[in-house]
Amino acid sequence: MSALSVKNVSKIFPALNNKNQSVQALQDVSLEVNENEFVSILGHSGCGKTTLLNLIAGFESPTSGSIFCAEKAVKDPGADRSMVFQDYALFPWLTVRDNIAFGLHLKRINSASIEQSVMHFANLVGLSAFVDSYPHQLSGGMRQRVSIARALAVNPTVLLMDEPFAALDAQNRSMMQQEMIRILAEESKTVVLVTHSIEESINLSDVIVVLTRRPGRVKAVIRVPEPRKMIEDTPSYLEIRKKIRALINDEHDISDTV
């Protein structure tokens, strides 16, 4: 079953004034994301990756085309799609417990169920000992774990991630990638990740979508041979990394499926 369907989506941002021209961010983008599939979106800066994610989230509306989540048309933000942002987007005045519980309160779930869910997801991300801490008392990696727990707690159909580990140093970024692999092994979920990192996309994904330069179009759809089991510096890993790098750097605009 398709968890997410993007059909012929284009997005044009109108001119802000008479001196500016309208900007076409995306053109005729189509993709299907299967249930429990991890899909990464790659491409040059400005190619429309985050715009596409915002359209899926319902933060923006497409100029043309349509988006469906679990066969329901996406018109607005909804609990069936939750977002993990690069800057954590935690409420600084709330504890870890209350940050994770925030979306559950909006769904009007009873207090006992909320507490049970909070502790389940706090434990899942390794923060059960920090539920009464505030965001400023946590490291960057720990804050991002809270963001992931909060996003998962509402049980979305699709988890959206906008460069969630970009602000972390290389060591913590690698650690968080391994944590995501562990978390998703325990809590199956459909994920769409926007990233600039080819290595991150290979390490985490089932499928990698490469967009062209603006206006972003689907240039290639690549299936990772051994999802979440690829070993860096092996011939198979180096081959797929080389292929993706060539696709991103290639100026030609030919759609391809690998």
* Predicted local distance difference test score (pLDDT) of residue 256: 43
| Full DSSP string of 38-102 | EEEEE--TTSSHHHHHHHHHTSS--SEEEEEETTEE--S--TTEEEE-TT----TTS-HHHHHHH
Closest CA to 223 of 18, 24, 39, 93: 39
Average model confidence (pLDDT) across the chain = 92
Per-residue pLDDT of 83-96, as tens digits, reads 999 888 899 999 99
Whether the per-residue pLDDT at 141 is higher than 70: the answer is yes
- Tell me the chain's radius of gyration from C-alpha atoms: 19
The CATH number of the domain covering residues in 2-80+156-257: 3.40.50.300
The mean per-residue pLDDT over the stretch 226-234 comes to 91
* Predicted local distance difference test score (pLDDT) of residue 257: 44
The whole-angstrom separation of Cα 19 and Cα 233 is 50
pTM over 0.75: yes
DSSP letter assigned to residue 208: E
The mean per-residue pLDDT over the stretch 110-121 comes to 94
By percentage, how much of the chain surpasses pLDDT 70? Answer: 96
Per-residue pLDDT of 163-207, as tens digits, reads 999 888 888 899 999 999 999 999 999 999 999 999 999 999 999
Domain segments of the chain as ranges = 2-80+156-257
